[in-house]
Amino acid sequence: MNGGNLEDIALAAATSYAGSSIGAEVGSQVGGSEAVQALDKGTQITIKQVVTSASTNAATVALRGGSFDDILKAGAVGAVGSYVSSTLTKPTQLGGYGFDPKSLDTKLITTATAAATKAILNGKSIADAVVGATTVSALTLTISGNVDK
């Protein structure tokens, strides 16, 4: 067997499952709160997705014995990634860009997430960073797609 012994595999699966369960519960509790329910539907969706993702990542790292800094970083990465994905795929009438998630290239989301993370760390506009990174990625993908044909 490659990748470790059966005990390591079982432990990794259990911590991932537990982390996911904790994240789903936290997201559900926050998403169902009166404060969130008072917001518009698009914001409700985004908050629930971001909280669920951040909580899942943080809980999984905590269950694996990660340091406090690692837990915070995992939560932040989960939150940013979820926010970017949600913003790109949420319908425009709900405040998103309306991209079909099945048609989005993984590189586009990865690039936009990296740009948003960098913007957060540098105190810059997340929206500007995501729009700029998304535009550059989309142009690059279009150009490379046409070159390959």
- Whether 26 shows a pLDDT value over 80: the answer reads yes
* Chain mean pLDDT for the chain: 81
- Whether 30 shows a pLDDT value over 80: the answer reads yes
90 sits in the region (left: phi over 0; alpha: psi -120 to 50; else beta) called: beta
pTM above 0.85, yes or no: no
Question: Is the CB of residue 95 less than 8 Å from the CB of residue 42?
Answer: yes
Question: Is the CB of residue 59 less than 8 Å from the CB of residue 19?
Answer: yes
Question: Is the CB of residue 52 less than 8 Å from the CB of residue 21?
Answer: no
**Whole-Å CA distances, 59 to 94, 98, 109, 146:** 29, 30, 23, 43
Give the per-residue pLDDT at 64.
93
Among 127, 36, 24, 18, which Cα is nearest to 78's? 24
Question: Which pair of structure tokens corresponds to residue 8?
Answer: 């390591």
pLDDT in tens, 70-128: 999 889 888 888 887 787 777 777 777 777 777 766 777 777 777 777 776 677 776 77
